[in-house]
Amino acid sequence: MSKYSVIGARVRMIGGTEKVTGDAKYTSDLTLPGMLYGKILRSPHPHAKILNIDTSKAEKMIGVKAVVTGADTIGKKQGIWRRFPELCDEEILCRAKVRYIGDAVAAVAAVDEDTAEEALGLIEVEYETLPAVFDPMEAITEEAPQIHEGVELNINVNRHIEWGNVDEAFTKCDHIREDQFVCSSQAHMCMETHCALASFDYNGKLTVWTSTQSSYYIQVLLMGMLGMREGDIRVINPYTGGGFGSKFELDSAQFCASLLSKKICRPVKIVLTREEEFTATKRRTPMYYFLKLGAKKDGTLLAKEVRVITEGGAYTAMGATALYLTGFFSSFPYKYPNYRYDGYRSYTNTEPTSAMRGFGAPQSTFVGESQLDMMAEDLGIDPIEIRRKNGMTPDYVVPGQAFIQSCGLHQCLDKIEALIKERGKLPPNHGIGIAAYGFMSGGIFNWFDTPYSFSAAIVKINIDGKVDLFTGANEIGQGSNTTLSMICAEELGVKFEDIRIHSADTGICPPDLGGWGSRQTLMSGNAVKMAAADAKRQIMEFAAAKMGVNIVYDLDIKDQWIHLVDRPERGVSYFDVVKEAIRGRDGEVIIGRGHYTPHRKGMISPAYSFGIQAAEVEVDPETGKYKLLNVSTAHDSGQVINQVGIEGQLEGAIMMAGGYGYCEDQPMDKGKILNPSIADYKMIRSLDMPETKILEIDTYEPEGPFGAKEAGEGLTNPTAGAIGNAIYKAVGVRVNTLPITPEKVFRALREKESKQKR
Amino acid sequence: MKKVVKLTVNGQAYDLYIKPKTLLIEVLRDHLGLTGTKRGCNTGSCGACAVILDGMAVKSCSVLALQADGGEVMTVEGLAIGAELHPLQKAFLDHGAVQCGFCTSGMLMSSKALLDENPNPDKQQIKEGIDGHICRCTGYNSIVRAITDVVKGEYKEAK
Amino acid sequence: MSYHCPVCKKVSHAPLDLARHMIGRGDKVHRDWIYSKGFKYSELLLLQIKSFGGEGFKALAEVLEKETKVED
């Protein structure tokens, strides 16, 4: 019998009915009277000066209503790391220089898309091409062309994390390994491409409907780039077709549509094509990893040294965060007494690299878990044992960095160990590989420099007992509207159907940093819980008075029934008390307010999820081809709020993370992405998707609402590592570069054979 | 040189006057305002634009409206009967087979076409039936489970 | 024994740690000092990242051992 009425139940997602009936309106479905269609002209060169742009022919074309270039902007550079102005380096609409193939140089608004597209062909841009550099190892040399003024050697950011004494510790180790890995890029491949409908009116106010993970971030970034007041910009998030980290920065569709609309006071809609989506947005950060790991012969890990250089692409974007987090999560989920991380991010003339689900942790988990298995083999220790010996435990403190409260890693290890034992002896060429992870539930850092609390919520109770919940949190398909409504209903003691949620409209919802970094369940959830508790208190005052019970008794609401906690049969209807509470307060509407910002929780996150994944593969030793048969995950996300939602996150993460390990890649030739189409960008489809198994464990996170913490990103971390370890178990070869394609497995097998012959 | 095209969409007959290069998806979304069908790629690779044309699931971004002349089209808007959701729609909701929803209309159309042709597919056939569709959110297995439940008769047909 | 950075206020307990500080800071004043000793900054950085055993820091540390040591 669950102690909760709503939390943990299986419910249909809010907005689901609209989606299955085709009623849900996404940004590209919206039209406004007088609306124009926009298209963007992009650089064909990876690095070039813009000498001149002549838009006169395009402007004269029938059906074209406005053309903009960098000259129409206020000349600002923007970036997410607003506390560090030197990292705000992106103009979006380039003025003097283009820095990658796809960098925007002009935009057109016309009566239809075909006309706009044709007008692009009439814009004459005079470029002076410059030498370009694509490899970060070359980009940081003295001979490389400088990509951004004032940034010598193209070293964009560097980050260092250290505790203990790594050099001394290595001298005490019985065994040391050094290994190199290359982690590839990955495209977010949201089903809905980036798009925006911007409407600037004659009063100087801008409304933007856009597919976004953070309405608030887009509002503030537009404010900076357009030189407007924050309150004169309203960003609304209609139904959104996926984000995965690609949609919380100001993008070319949003900026160009706003700029065009501002020029002529007419609505302008821009929807990026799939090719633009692949080449002119942002992507996962490729990383070159050099790891040194030292242990005692009993498997105790003593020291880890991590050296990373990442390919930054043309702009900083969120790449600085990825650089930091990959270094931090390289220490997860184990207790290292001595640790050192030195990371460098290099600019290159390629598509900017930024945030993508996992934010540097899929990379660090792949390399770390691969190396740990290798260390275990060197020492003759079982892979589960070495993880058990060194795994984090509840209340562990990462020196100088983080406080871990709940941690279910060991329960997860037990579950996976039991599962593998049960599977028993495997057929030939089959292998099961494991990988463990830990991940954050939202970040504590405020590089964006917001003056607001990170999350806020308002609860309004109507005379008929129905509840309006206002939250800035963004529903992007992950089910946050559902999860937050469940938290509200549980706290307030009403039914899930009593809640009507309004989210991510900056005109009516309080600010929230948005749906990225796995923050909303914990942070927005805490704000919602506080707002619901505030509204509840206002009702309970009247309930106590109405019921007149002895002061020793506590009252609570559950399932719309206000009752004595000790004698639940004695109570009154929530609906009656709401009416009385409103009348008793002179008709004043009952409004509850809540907010949340993590305090005194270290430098990274208020709470961490943990888990371990086991992947079974079957390899064909002749061809190197392999099948993902089964991926089982034991995960610790604290109290599960939205059961259907979490299962969806877990299975969906396997598709994306499995793809990262198996087949997704963006090969480039001199800065040009060679496969910018769905036909050529290989992803896991229904026939390739493995069977999945979820093993629940029971933990409670004190910092989270009802004990909950994140689930969307941590689950994306381990799959590539589990696949790599599984292939090694199956056929005895290791591939240290992602993706682990059949071709690489084939080559490794043939190389192993020829070595054995010698 | 515009041409007249006759289409029946979700049971309603239309006469449309269109340029020959107009794609079926443009007719549905832009001319008839049926925005349930989505554009995911415009190159016939992702499946988001799937509709049912004369009983067969087709990618409407790769079909000219002229090629569909005289035909019967069903889009996702035609799946529910009145206010009653179709069993596939109910099953998708119950199984969490919908997250961001952008692939959903196409997925539903292919599922319906599959079940209309073969009311008793096994798991492998169901997976093959939706193999032309990308879903970036769910990992496909919940979609397969939803369709399987409909096949098993878990949802009564709408009267 | 301590090692004082030749261009800023940083004081380290070991030359290897000071080398890490200088290469890590990587700003113009630190790089210029490194160049003045006949090293190429980017070569040291790449050597440190790619070489087993972290040779980049060691190379600079040898010079720092001689030039920045301060007896306490």
In sequence order, the 6+-apart residues with CB closer than 8 A to the CB of A60 are none
Nearest residue in C to A154, CA atom: C42
Tokens of A748: 């490794």
In a domain, B157, yes or no: no
Q: Token pair of A618, please?
A: 């079957």
Sort out which chain A residues have CB atoms less than 8 A from B105's CB and list them: 22
Structural domains in chain A, CATH included, are: 16-22+454-596 (3.30.365.10), 31-130+191-242+247-279 (3.90.1170.50), 357-365+380-444+604-757 (3.30.365.10)
Answer whether A367's CB lies under 8 Å from A183's CB.
yes
Domain stops at, among B42, B61, B78: B78
Residue ending a domain, among B30, B48, B78, is B78
**Is B114 part of any domain?**
yes
| Residue of chain A nearest C35, judged by CA positions | A142
Token pair in block for residue C4: 């004082």
| Interchain CB distance below 8 Å, A12 and B133 | no
Please indicate whether, in this complex, the C-beta atoms of C45 and A178 are within 8 angstroms of each other. no
User: Are A142 and C53 within 8 A, CB to CB?
Assistant: no
Return the CATH number at B74: 3.10.20.30
Distance from CA of B11 to the nearest CA of A (A): 16
Tokens, residue A37: 């269609």
Is A64:A58 a contact under the CB 8 Å cutoff?
A: yes
Chain B segment 4-63 residues within 8 A of A by beta carbon are 29, 34-43, 45-46, 48
Q: Choose among B43, B103, B136: nearest Cβ to A274.
A: B43
pLDDT of residue B157: 60
- Please indicate if any CB of chain A lies within 8 Å of the CB of B148: no
- Positions in chain A whose pLDDT score sits under 50: 1
Contact call for A679 and B45, based on CB within 8 A: yes
Partner residue opposite B136 with nearest CB, options A190, A240, A691: A190
Q: Is B45's pLDDT higher than 60?
A: yes
The vertex-A205 CA angle with A201 and A209, nearest 5°, equals 85
The burial of A600, by beta-carbon neighbours within 10 Å (0-12 exposed, 13-18 middle, 19 or more buried), is given as exposed
B64 in the same domain as B105: no
Q: What is the pLDDT of residue C52?
A: 74
Are residues A178 and C53, on separate chains, in Cβ contact within 8 Å? yes
* CATH at residue B145: 1.10.150.120
Looking at the fold, whether B144 and B98 belong to one and the same domain comes out as yes
B140/A689 Cβ within 8 A: yes
Nearest to A307 among C26, C42, C49 (CB): C49
How far apart are the C-alpha atoms of A590 and A572, rounded to whole Å? 19
Cα distance between residue A713 and residue A710, in whole Å: 7
B98 closest CB neighbour out of A19, A240, A685: A19
Query: Residue A340's closest chain C neighbor by CA?
Result: C20
pLDDT higher than 80, residue B31: yes
Size of interface A-B (CB pairs under 8 A): 164
Indicate if B43 and B93 belong to the same structural domain: no
Pair of tokens at residue A461: 């109770």
User: Are residue B130 and residue B147 in the same domain, yes or no?
Assistant: yes
Neighbors of chain C by Cβ distance (3+ pairs < 8 Å): A
Residue B139 located in a structural domain: yes
3-class DSSP assignment, residue A725: helix
Would the CB atoms of A153 and C24 count as touching at under 8 Å? no
The answer to whether residue B14 is domain-embedded is yes
Measured between beta carbons, the chain A residues lying within 8 angstroms of B79 are 20-21
Q: For chain A, say whether B144 makes contact (Cβ under 8 Å).
A: yes
Q: Is the pLDDT of residue B85 over 80?
A: yes
Asked if B94's CB is within 8 angstroms of A191's CB, the reply is no
* Token output for A669: 């030739």
Nearest residue of chain C to residue A179 (CA atoms): C52
Start-to-end CA span in chain A (Å):
65
Residues B11 and B68 in one domain: yes
Using an 8 Å Cβ cutoff, are A559 and A2 in contact?
no
Q: Tell if the CB–CB gap between A191 and B75 is shorter than 8 Å.
A: no
Pick B89's closest partner by Cβ from A21, A476, A677.
A21
**Residue A549: predicted pLDDT:** 86
Residues 6+ apart with CB under 8 A from C5: C11, C12, C18, C21, C22, C30, C68
> Do chains C and B have 3 or more beta-carbon pairs under 8 angstroms?
no
C-alpha span between A44 and A343 (Å, rounded): 31
Determine whether the interchain pair A158/C42 forms a contact, defined as Cβ–Cβ distance below 8 Å. Answer: no
Task: With beta carbons less than 8 A apart as the criterion, state whether A638 and A609 touch.
Answer: yes
Is residue B159 predicted with pLDDT exceeding 50? no
Q: Are residues B67 and B104 in the same domain?
A: no
Mutate to test the interface with A, among C32, C35, C42, C50 (most CBs of A within 10 A): C42
Cβ pair A160:C54 closer than 8 A: no
CB contact under 8 A, A342 and C24: yes
- B149 three-state secondary structure: helix
Torsion angle of the four alpha carbons A592, A597, A598, A604, in this order, in degrees rounded to the nearest 10: 140
Q: Please give the structure tokens belonging to residue A155.
A: 């070293």
Question: Could you tell me if residue B159 is inside a domain?
Answer: no
Under 8 Å between Cβ of A624 and A733: no
Q: Is the pLDDT of residue B158 over 50?
A: no
User: What value, to the nearest 5°, has the Cα angle with vertex A311 and ends A308 and A316?
Assistant: 105
> B67 and B40: one domain?
yes
Domain total in chain B = 2
Measured in angstroms, the CA of A204 and the nearest CA of chain B are apart by: 30
Same domain, B66 and B116: no
The per-residue pLDDT for range A334-374, each reduced to its tens digit, is 999 999 999 999 999 999 999 999 999 999 999 999 999 99
Which distant-in-sequence residues (6+ apart) come within 8 Å of A654 by Cβ? A631, A633, A689, A690, A692, A715, A719, B139
**C-alpha dihedral sign at C42, C46, C47, C53:** positive
Provide the whole-model pTM: 0.96
Low-confidence ranges of chain C (pLDDT < 50): none
Tell me if A118 sits within 8 A of A60, measured CB to CB.
no
CB atoms inside a 10 Å sphere around CB A516: 28
Contact yes or no for B89 and A20 at CB 8 A: yes
B9 and B67 in a common domain: yes
Query: What are A374's two structure tokens?
Result: 């290798």
Does residue B158 lie within any of the structural domains?
A: no
The answer to the question of residue B35 being in a domain is yes
Domain that holds residue B61: 3-78
Give chain A positions within 8 Å (CB) of B134.
189, 191, 678, 683, 685
Cβ <8 Å between A178 and C16: no
CA A396 to chain centre: 25
| A290–C50 CB contact, under 8 Å | yes
Q: Which pLDDT score, from 0 to 100, does residue A602 have?
A: 85
Is A342 close to C48, i.e. CB distance below 8 A? yes
End residue of a domain, out of B26, B60, B78 = B78
Whether residues B92 and B138 share a domain: the answer is yes
Task: Mark whether B29 and B57 lie in a shared domain.
Answer: yes
C25 to chain A, closest Cα gap in Å = 8
Looking at chain C, which residue has its C-alpha nearest residue A170? C53
Are A140 and C16 in contact (CB < 8 Å)?
Answer: no
Nearest to A396 by CA among A388, A405, A387: A405
> Phi and psi at residue A696, in whole multiples of 5°?
-85, 145
Q: Tell me the pLDDT of chain B averaged across its residues.
A: 96
Question: Cα(A576)–Cα(A582) distance, rounded to whole angstroms?
Answer: 10
> Has residue B156 been placed in a domain?
no
Which residues in chain C touch residue A292, judged by CB atoms under 8 angstroms apart? 52, 54
Cα–Cα distances in angstroms (integers) from residue A198 to residues A190, A206, A248, A423, A503, in the given order = 21, 7, 17, 56, 19
Q: Which of residues 105-124 of B touch A (CB under 8 A)?
A: 105, 108
Contact at CB, A477 and B130, closer than 8 angstroms? no
Q: What ipTM score was computed for the predicted complex, to two decimals?
A: 0.98
Same-domain pairing of B25 and B57: yes
What's the CA gap between A240 and A23, in Å, rounded?
Answer: 13
